[in-house]
């Protein structure tokens, strides 16, 4: 893993920290680092949920344009797979994730946030997909995940114009889930993820997979995905623990082991 991306773990919550001041421009090293950090977070048993954070000042202001400016078509044919890989790795992380957004989440930075399950934004945060102003389009999932999150019409407005979206508008259209003062963003995101520590890890994983995969298929196929994942959880010890606890003590009192 690179020094520009770190996985820090405390009390069951992992923080994937992007650290390339001043603007956390997402160069190839960071993109590889995010893939590695997501893989490690997914494998570690002491990580129940993940916060993605760029620090107190900025989440990520986009891809490294200086790095891309001199690329040829064939260079980008090779590099574009990585653009998809690092956001796909985050989207497929089999645990709850939240983006803690301060300052700017633009271009690739917005695409990182879109790949998370939830987004907490500072009240002065600005989000957007300004690639059109460079004569290109989003390439790390922005055209797809944004449209699925806020609807195609709003996504087209944001992508076609390249404009920045303020925190309150982002909350109103569903682009972010919570808006808090900038100083409270990280703690709020950690609190959201802390609720999953000590939870039924395989059930959470199945719930995320059922929702995400189900959105990509027709209803009958989605119901079949749900049915198979539901049945599979009867092989876990947490399912037995949860049901036994419910029968003996009532709801919400089970102590899970994540197995």
Sequence spans of domains, the chain: 5-194, 201-249
Residues 6+ apart with CB under 8 A from 10: none
Q: How far is C-alpha 161 from the geometric centre of its chain's CA atoms? A: 24
- What is the CB neighbour count within 10 angstroms for residue 73? 6
70 burial level (CB within 10 Å; 0-12, 13-18, 19+):
exposed
Sheet holding 126-128, edge to edge: 104-106, 126-128, 164-166
Would you say 69 and 91 are in contact if contact means Cβ atoms under 8 Å apart? no
User: pLDDT per residue over 152-174, tens digit each?
Assistant: 999 999 999 999 999 999 999 99
- Whether the upstream peptide bond of residue 4 has omega within 30° of 0, thus cis, is no
Please name the residue that has the structure tokens 């919550």: 13
User: pLDDT per residue over 197-221, tens digit each?
Assistant: 999 999 999 999 999 999 999 999 9
Reported pTM: 0.94
User: pLDDT per residue over 10-42, tens digit each?
Assistant: 999 999 999 999 999 999 999 999 999 999 999
Please name the residue that has the structure tokens 């992992």: 14
At the fourth CATH level, which superfamily is domain 201-249?
Lyase 2-enoyl-coa Hydratase, Chain  A, domain 2 (1.10.12.10)
The residues that are catalytic are 111, 131
138 burial level (CB within 10 Å; 0-12, 13-18, 19+):
buried
Would you say 184 and 124 are in contact if contact means Cβ atoms under 8 Å apart? no
User: pLDDT per residue over 231-252, tens digit each?
Assistant: 999 999 999 999 999 999 999 9
pLDDT of residue 1: 66
Q: Where are the beta strands (DSSP E) in the chain?
A: 5-10, 13-18, 49-53, 97-101, 104-106, 118-122, 126-128, 164-166, 178-180
How far apart CA 63 and CA 134 sit, in angstroms, is 12
Cα→Cα distances 78→8, 72, 84, 87, 172, Å: 31, 10, 11, 16, 38
Q: What is the mean pLDDT of residues 132-142?
A: 95
Fold (CATH) for 5-194? 2-enoyl-CoA Hydratase; Chain A, domain 1 (3.90.226)
Residue whose C-alpha is closest to residue 110's, from 161, 62, 165: 62
How far apart CA 186 and CA 67 sit, in angstroms, is 29
Please give, one letter per residue, the 3-state secondary structure of 8-46: EEECCEEEEEECCCCCCCECHHHHHHHHHHHHHHHHCCC
């Amino acid at each position: 893993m690179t020094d520009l991306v770190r996985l820090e773990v405390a009390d069951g919550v992992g923080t994937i920290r992007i650290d390339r001041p001043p603007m956390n421009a997402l160069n190839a090293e960071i993109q590889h680092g995010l893939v590695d950090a997501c893989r490690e977070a997914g494998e570690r048993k002491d990580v129940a949920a993940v916060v993605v954070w760029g620090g107190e000042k900025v989440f990520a202001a986009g891809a490294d344009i200086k790095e891309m400016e001199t690329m040829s078509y064939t260079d980008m044919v090779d590099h574009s797979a990585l653009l998809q890989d690092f956001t796909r790795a985050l989207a497929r992380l089999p645990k709850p994730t939240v983006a803690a957004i301060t300052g700017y989440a633009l271009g690739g930075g917005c695409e990182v946030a879109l790949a998370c399950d939830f987004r907490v934004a500072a009240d002065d945060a600005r989000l957007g997909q300004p690639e059109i102003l460079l004569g290109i389009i989003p390439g790390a999932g922005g055209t797809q995940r944004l449209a699925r999150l806020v609807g195609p019409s709003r996504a087209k407005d944001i992508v076609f114009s390249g404009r920045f979206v303020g925190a309150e508008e982002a909350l109103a259209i569903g682009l972010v889930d919570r808006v808090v003062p900038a100083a409270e963003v990280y703690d709020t995101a950690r609190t959201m993820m802390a609720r999953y520590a000590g939870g039924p890890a395989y059930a959470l994983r199945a719930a995320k997979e059922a929702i995400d995969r189900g959105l990509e298929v027709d209803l009958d196929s989605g119901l079949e995905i749900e049915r198979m994942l539901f049945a599979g959880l009867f092989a876990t010890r947490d399912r037995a623990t949860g049901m036994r606890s419910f029968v003996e003590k009532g709801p919400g009192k089970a102590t899970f082991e994540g197995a």
